[in-house]
Amino acid sequence: MNANQAPGMPPFDPMEITWLALVKARWKILVAAGVGAGLGLVVGLAQPNVYTSLGKFRVDAGQLASVMESSRGGGSSSTAQGMRASREEVIDELEILSSQDIMMAVAQEVGTDALLRPADPSAFDNQWTSPPVRYMHQFQAWLLGQLNGMSGGDTWERESLAMLALQGRTFVGAVRGSNVITVSHSSAHPDVAQQVVKAYMDAGERQHVAVFSQDPQDLEVLRERSTSLRAHLHEHETAFQDHKLECGFQNLELNTGFLTGRITELQNELNRAEAELAELEASHGAAQEIVSNEQAYVPQSSRDWVDNPDWVTAHDLYVNLQTAVTEKEMAAVGPGARNPNDPAYVQELTDLVTRRDEARALRDTIDPMVMGPETRRQQPNPAFTNAQRIVAAFPGQKAAVEARLFSSRAQSEKAVKDLASAHACGSTHETFVRKIAGLKEEIVKNNDEYAAAGRRADSELLGKTNLRRISEAFLPIEKDGPRRSKSILIGLFLFLFGASALAVLREVIDRRLRRPVEVERLLGLRVLAALPECRSWARRGRVERGVVPADDLPDVSPGAQAEKPKAEVSA
């Protein structure tokens, strides 16, 4: 028993527990090791062979010259070699070659399909390839095809995935302690790797030339272009002001809104006049029918109804004023008519309308007929008299309503024409606005280009860099693929040690939860001897020495059994 063993607990031997746990769980451990090896194999097959293509640039300091085609293969060049570039210049060149514009140009040149093409392990199989290797390549191709299913989708999604793949597999860096910049790309296809590196180097040279090869004459060109743009802007602004004065408004939205509201108002007035004319014609038709049937509306009376002189006077005054109002309204219609918006005309018309309404109100308060002296002649019915009055007043009322209708229609047509003219002016207005805005944007862009050109010219006076190829993008042949044996071993040992550790931990927990030590001492030998793993050990006598210490073995002699207290064997 261990010195640190708690009283009442079974004996604890680490080596014993470890070996017992491994023996008990040997099949589970073997299965776990097999599963780990299988998973390692699957992981290894899921990683295709990778081919890396490499290209190299050399950065020299000195006067900038155009990138010569003759320098691409490391041959002679007409440009002087110059001094070695400093570390800062190499870093600046790295920043230029790491531009996102280069990535976009490479992705557009190589193509989305090439960047997202799934790996084909059987592409290099031939007649000398063994059948097991062929079958493995077929399984690997199927597995890679299933994993590559996520590259499908619409055009935008595929372009995004291609850009991410290009950025993740392309590396641009500088060799430590040197002025050499390397461009590498890793792909499952050697031709794609070479094509990407070649396109990247071409795009990098173009970017280098665009940044550093600033012709000093371009400053004069940009300055002249700025002057020309400002002159065009002044011409368009002057023409725009003349156009706004010609159209008669400064604010297009305000003018069109006013005309639209005016047209709506005139349309409502036109509808009211038409409804009033229809009502007037209907009442005239009913009155005309009453007047034509005079005998039915003329009763016999012993007394005659006579016209009230006061009512006749008030009615004559009302008729005269109504006639005056009609004439005043007609004076504003037709050629040579008065302006309906003239304040004097409006005041005169308002006075006549007020006097007419007052005369009508006074007339309505007076009874039109009074009973005359006793007579035997016939008197007309009041309805008949009212019908006669309606028929008599119909021509004047109809003329007034038609005059209003004609005036509203004419004003509405004029407003519609004005609105059409405003929209025509509005299209020209928008054209001027777009042209002026475009010229202002071009001026701002030209100013930025001029400032950038000035800065580049100043920096070129201090020093320039030349970018030359010293190594072309080669077609990779050696594969830098996954170590499948390494993946298998990692999975094998990971699951092996994991399963073993779990078995030992389980054995320790089981021992901690066993019965008290007295029962273990009495029954431990028999229980362990009954285990299949320990039968051979029990036959060779290893159980007593390894599992139960010799000092704790029960005494099987008759005298010892008689002297052993009963409490020792109680559960």
pLDDT attached to residue 333: 77
Which residues, 6 or more positions from 489, have their beta carbon under 8 angstroms from its beta carbon?
40
- Looking at the fold, whether 195 and 306 belong to one and the same domain comes out as no
pLDDT attached to residue 538: 47
Within a domain: 32: no
- Looking at the fold, whether 310 and 354 belong to one and the same domain comes out as yes
Within a domain: 24: no
**447, 482, 504: which is the final residue of a domain?**
447
Overall size of the chain counted in residues:
571
Q: What is the pLDDT of residues 496-538, one digit of tens each?
A: 777 777 777 777 777 665 544 444 444 444 445 455 555 554 4
- Looking at the fold, whether 287 and 423 belong to one and the same domain comes out as yes
- Looking at the fold, whether 78 and 208 belong to one and the same domain comes out as yes
Q: What is the pLDDT of residues 340-398, one digit of tens each?
A: 888 888 888 889 889 889 888 888 888 777 766 655 445 556 777 777 788 888 888 88
Q: pTM, whole model, 2 decimals?
A: 0.40
Q: Could you tell me the pLDDT band of residue 152, with boundaries at 50, 70 and 90?
A: low
| DSSP at 116 | T
Q: What is the pLDDT of residues 38-51, one digit of tens each?
A: 777 777 666 777 78
Report the distance separating Cα 200 and Cα 14, nearest Å: 62
pLDDT higher than 80, residue 541: no
Within a domain: 244: no
What residues are paired with 53 via a beta bridge? 185
pLDDT attached to residue 251: 55
- Looking at the fold, whether 436 and 544 belong to one and the same domain comes out as no
Contact 110/187 with Cβ under 8 angstroms?
Answer: no
Within a domain: 14: no
Q: Could you tell me the pLDDT band of residue 552, with boundaries at 50, 70 and 90?
A: very low
- Looking at the fold, whether 275 and 211 belong to one and the same domain comes out as no
| DSSP at 548 | S
- Looking at the fold, whether 207 and 349 belong to one and the same domain comes out as no
Within a domain: 419: yes
- Looking at the fold, whether 271 and 406 belong to one and the same domain comes out as yes
Within a domain: 315: yes
- Looking at the fold, whether 384 and 522 belong to one and the same domain comes out as no
- Looking at the fold, whether 62 and 158 belong to one and the same domain comes out as yes
Mean predicted confidence (pLDDT) in 118-146? 70
pLDDT attached to residue 405: 81
- Looking at the fold, whether 282 and 211 belong to one and the same domain comes out as no
C-alpha torsion sign, points 8, 9, 10, 15: negative
> What residue numbers bound the domain in which 525 lies?
516-571
Residue 264: CB atoms within 10 A of its CB come to: 12
Which residues, 6 or more positions from 422, have their beta carbon under 8 angstroms from its beta carbon?
247, 249, 252, 255, 256, 259
Closest CA to 516 of 571, 440, 455: 571
Q: What is the pLDDT of residues 62-79, one digit of tens each?
A: 544 434 333 444 433 333
Q: Could you tell me the pLDDT band of residue 305, with boundaries at 50, 70 and 90?
A: low
- Looking at the fold, whether 464 and 443 belong to one and the same domain comes out as no
Within a domain: 508: no
Identify the weakest region by mean pLDDT among 156-165, 172-181, 455-464, 515-524: 515-524
Closest CA to 212 of 30, 318, 63, 76: 63
Contact 485/211 with Cβ under 8 angstroms?
Answer: no
Domain count, the chain: 3
Q: Where are the beta strands (DSSP E) in 357-415?
A: 369-374
Mean predicted confidence (pLDDT) in 134-140? 72
pLDDT attached to residue 346: 85
Within a domain: 154: yes
